[in-house]
Amino acid sequence: MSLTPRPPGTPPDSRPDRPAAAGQEVARAPDAVRRVGLLLTLVLGSLSALAPLSMDMYLPSLPRVTAALHTSDAMVQLSLTACLVGLALGQLVAGPLSDALGRRRPLLVGLALYTLSTACCAAAGDVRLLIACRVVQGLSGAAGIVIARAVVRDLFSGLAAARFAATLMLVSGSAPLLAPVLGGQVLRFTTWRGVFVVLTVLGAVMLAGTALLVRETLPPGQRRRGGLPDTLRTMRELLSDRLFSAYLLIVAFGFGALFAFISGSPYVVQEVYHGSPQRFSLLFALVEAGLVGMSQLTARLLLGRFGSHRIQLAGAAVLTLSGAALVFMTASHRGGLAGLTAGLFAMAAGLGTVSPPSSALALQRAPHAAGTASALLGTVQFLTGALAPALVGLGGHDSALPMAVVILGMALAALASFVLLARPWRPAPDPLRG
């Protein structure tokens, strides 16, 4: 797959007029995208889906892991937090490395380590070893997420980047949508270890596919050579950018609400509402469908017609209102599982509204350090996501209320961060407005 980004000094929306030098691994982007656009989307979507898949397929088995390893619910939930922390910190390594070494080499190393660490999870004999293996699994799986976003920024900008990112979410979102269903079916025939065996096979397939299909998208002339000091300086500059921080925080806190659902719902559905693993997997798939479906609607119909800040503000409001409805229903014991499902679907739809414009606008503000910007986006997202299961766990699993309270808290933080930093009432140029 030969794709080339902009050469040094070329404006973001322009493309080179002359072909790449002989022997160079990249070709001009427009022709390449037309030839392999579908393949590019599938590969990048699969890469960004592999690490979330590692969490979502595992969810129906959480109660069984607790029993099999003779441990507590809190310790097993810590294995989920460990993976999230690994995903967060791994992006801080993989993103800057991909800016310095190119996209391909860090990606291949990350996939190889992911496959090995997932096999270790399947063989873990106690919960502490499982937690350690899950940290490494997250660290290595982070490469697919951060590098996929950086490749999109190599190739696209503005509205095109937002729409391609939404298409990527359609592909990557299909795996988490099906993952709990698949995980629930795997548990019908084997133990929780079988879930990690399936993930090991998927990791090996992705490693082989990436080695065969993915070429370099960041030529040597565009790579950053400053090392750690340059990386830290770039991160400091990005975080001091008020708008970048606004876009980062609204996505991060929005995903914190999502991870509160991810960590709490297996226990809520199966222990509070006495549903089966299969019923949980169907509820999870419905909520994921709200996230993916709304992201597509936002990218295809809303962006380019309405201001980006108006869309983000509306999505954050829906996120907050759905959190408030969930708290009301769970505190008053009204609505039952159907009401809970409706509130969670609305929460996911709100997140699907804010994510495409926020992610694209954040990367738009870092045209020369897409890997580092992508790393910051992912790191803060997953650190916030790692905090959510711990907060849900503090409230116990005898009620759905702790999950609902954390969702509302994260939603309020997203709304407040966006309003205070982006200041959407002020007119400003909108690079996503067609």
CB-based burial, 20-54: b 16+ in 10 Å, e otherwise = eeeeeebbbbeebbeebeeebbebbbbbbbbbbbb
How many other β-carbons are positioned within 10 Å of the β-carbon of residue 354? 30
State yes or no: pLDDT of 170 exceeds 90. Answer: no
pLDDT at residue 433, as a whole number? 63
* Length of the chain measured in residues: 434
Q: What is the mean pLDDT of residues 19-25?
A: 32
State yes or no: pLDDT of 327 exceeds 90. Answer: yes
Judge whether 411 lies within some domain.
yes
What CATH number is given to the structural domain containing 252?
Answer: 1.20.1250.20
- Dump pLDDT digits (tens) for 151-166: 777 777 667 766 777 6
How many other β-carbons are positioned within 10 Å of the β-carbon of residue 310? 13
- Dump pLDDT digits (tens) for 60-71: 888 888 888 888
CA-based nearest residue to 416, from 288, 323, 296:
323
CA 353 to chain CA centroid, Å, is 15
Distance between CA atoms of residues 292 and 287, nearest Å: 9
State yes or no: pLDDT of 434 exceeds 60. Answer: no
- Dump pLDDT digits (tens) for 217-263: 788 877 777 667 777 888 898 899 999 999 999 999 998 999 899 88
* Domain of 35, in residue numbers: 29-422
What is the percent of the chain where pLDDT is above 90?
25
- Which residues contact residue 236 at a Cβ distance below 8 angstroms, ignoring those fewer than 6 apart? none
pLDDT higher for 308 or 41? 308
Judge whether 433 lies within some domain.
no
Judge whether 351 lies within some domain.
yes
Distance between CA atoms of residues 33 and 35, nearest Å: 5
Judge whether 3 lies within some domain.
no
Mean pLDDT, the chain, integer: 80
Total tally of structural domains belonging to the chain: 1
Distance between CA atoms of residues 256 and 247, nearest Å: 14
CA-based nearest residue to 256, from 72, 384, 355, 97:
384
Judge whether 9 lies within some domain.
no
